[in-house]
Amino acid sequence: MLENIRAKIKTGGAAYEFDKEINCEGFSARVTADNERVTLEIEPVGEIIFDEIKLTADTPVTDDDRVFLNGYQSWTDSREAHPEEHTRGIDHIPAPLVRKYSFDKYGDYNFTKYKNKRERFHGWTYAYVRSGGSFRLFGSLSEKNGFTLIRLNAEKGKVTFRLECEGAVFGETFKALDIYTGEGKEDEVFDRWFGLMGTPKPKAKPVFGYTSWYRHYQDISEQKLEHDLDAIIESGTRQDIFQIDDGYQTAVGDWLSIDKSKFPKGLKAISDRIHENGMLSGLWLAPFVCEKNSDIYNTKKSWLLRDKNGDEVPAGCNWSGSFVLDIYNDEVREYLKKVFRTVLDDWGFDMVKLDFLYAVCELPQHGRSRGTVMCEAMDFLRECVGDKLILGCGVPLGAAFGKVDYCRIGCDVGLDWNDNAVMRMTHRERVSTRNSVHNTIFRRQLNGRAFLNDPDVYLLRDDNISLAHCQKQSLSVINHLFGSVYFTSDDVSSYGERQKKMLKTARRLTKAKIKSVDYNIGRVTIVFDDCGKQRHIVLTDDGKLE
C-alpha cells in the first residue's frame, strides 16, 4: 500500500533523512512498518524542539480514483474529490479583508501552506483513496502529540504525513506519527482503524430534536421558545431534545448573566417545562471564547490568551469580535467549572452544545502543540460535563473522537443553498447548505464510531427561507440517511400537508442502510437499502435529487 517510506526530521537548523533508523546527538528515531501500520518513534536526549517531523511514501492514484482528505475542523468543507481538483485556501482574499473579518482564524490558514496547484490536497487526521468499492485509508492513531497533517500529490502518487509540532517541547520517547494504512471495504477499514485507536463505541442514541438558532438566531425569548415548544407538543411529532441556542446571555462569555428582558424567570424555568413534556433540555455555549462587549473581556484581562507579542488572540469576527481564553489559567478553569455546575446541576440541562472549540488551540501554548492543547481541552470539557451529553461543534475532529456524544461534522446550513458569490470566495468554514450536505455524506464513516454525527438541521418551512422545495427535500433526506442527530429549527405548527409528508418520508430513512456512495464532479450517487428494497438517488450540485 505504501512504498519507499522515508522520514525527515529538522531540528536546530539541521535536517536528517532516513528510511529505517538514525542516531543523532540530540535524538534517535526509527521507522517501523507492516501491511497496516507505519510508525515514527523518536527518543530525545533531554528536551528538544523539532522544526519538522514527517514521513513520505509512494501510493498510486489513477484518474478513476477518488480522494478524500478530512478538513481541519467541523465546519471545514470535506468531500471526495477527483484527482484533478485541488484544495483552495484564502490567499486570493486581500489581506486587509482577512484581517478585518478574521477569515484566517476559522481554519488552518495560519499554520498550513496551501499549494493552490492542481493535484494537490491536504487534510488532517485521516484520508483515503477510493477505487470503486475499495478504500485505502490513512488514519492517525493519536493526535495527543500534535495534529497529523496529510498531503496527497495525486499526480506524483505521493503521500506525506507531518506532525504539526510548532511550539512543542519533547523530553521523552514518543510516537511522533502512528498511521493506520488499511486497504479493503469501507466498513472493514474504518472498523479496524477505530479498533486500533481503542475508541469506545458511543453510548448515546440517535435523537430527534429542535434548536432555536435557524428560526430566531440571537433574537430568542421565553415567549418565543414556549410557542415553539407548545407547537411541538400539539403536533405530536417526536422530539427528544429541545435545545436553546445563542441569545439567552447578556454577552458571549458571560454565561451566567442571563438577559432578564428575554428570560425574566431565568433558564431553570424553561428547562423544567421542557422536562415536564418528556424531552431533554439542551443549552448552547462557546466555552473557550468571550466577546469584546462581555464583562469577562473588560474585567478579566489576565484570562485572555496572548500571542508572543502580548496581543490578545482573536477567534473570529463573530458578535462584537471574539477572543480566546487561556485554558491553562486556573481562574478560567474554575470559572468554566462553575458555569457547567450551574447549567447542568442548578438549571437542570441535560445536554450542552459546545461551539467554537477550535479557538482554544489557535496557538501552541506552554510547550504544547496545537493538537495537544485541543486534546487536553476536550478532556477538560468531558471532566466538567461528566455523564451529561455533549454535542461538540467547531472542533478539530480527531481530538473529539470518543470525547463527545454527538458532534457536528459540517458547517452551518444557510437559509439558501450556497450563499452569494462573494461569500463563496471566502474561507472553507463558511455557512453553506451545499457544503454541509457534502460533509454529511463524506464524513459518514465517523457516525457510530467516533461519536454520533450531527449533520445540522433540516428546514421544511416556507417562511423566512430561500431554499427551493427540492433543496429542502435534499437536506432532510441526506440528514436522515446519514446522520444521527435529526434537529430542525422550524415552527412545526406551520407545516402543511406537503411538509408533513416530506418529514414522514425522511424519518423512515433513518432505518436505511447505505450500500455505496460515488462522487463525480457535480453529482453524488447514493445506493441504499430501504426496508429490503435497493434504491439509488443522485444529488446534483444545485441541490436536486434525481
Secondary structure (H, E, C), 86-108: CCCCCCCCCHHHHHHHCHHHCCC
Report yes or no: 545 and 477 within 8 Å, Cβ to Cβ. yes
Q: What cell does 166 get? A: 510548532
pLDDT at 119 over 70: no
Pairwise CA distance, residues 154 & 167, whole Å: 31
Residue type, 503: L
Pairwise CA distance, residues 144 & 178, whole Å: 11
Q: Rounded to 5 degrees, what are φ and ψ at 264?
A: -60, -25
495-504 own/partner pairs: CB under 8 Å, 24+ apart = 495/235, 495/460, 495/461, 496/462, 498/469, 499/460, 499/461, 499/462, 502/460, 502/472, 502/473, 502/476, 503/237, 503/460, 503/476
Count of C-beta atoms within a 10 Å radius of residue 17: 11
Q: Which residues pair with 33 in a beta bridge?
A: 38
CB-count burial class (<10 Å; 0-12, 13-18, 19+) for 157? middle
> Band of the pLDDT at 118, cuts 50, 70, 90?
low
Question: Quick one: what percent of the chain has pLDDT higher than 90?
Answer: 95
Rounded to a whole number of angstroms, the distance between the first and last alpha carbons of the chain is 36
Length of the chain: 546
Closest CA to 172 of 139, 144, 210: 144
pLDDT at 116 over 80: no
209 contact partners, CB below 8 Å, separation of at least 6: 239, 240, 241, 242, 243, 279, 282, 485, 486, 487, 488
pTM for the predicted model, two decimal places: 0.97
Strands (E) across 269-423 are located at: 280-285, 289-291, 314-316, 322-324, 351-354, 389-392, 406-408
> Band of the pLDDT at 120, cuts 50, 70, 90?
confident
Mean local confidence (pLDDT), 132-139: 97
pLDDT at 226 over 90: yes
Mean local confidence (pLDDT), 270-282: 98
Domain ranges of the chain: 3-197
Average pLDDT score over the chain: 96
Tell me the pLDDT tens digit for each residue of 50-68.
Answer: 999 999 999 999 999 999 9
- CA 180 to chain CA mean position, Å: 21
Cα–Cα distance list, 285 to 83, 138, 181, 254, 381 (Å): 39, 33, 37, 10, 12
Pairwise CA distance, residues 200 & 448, whole Å: 10
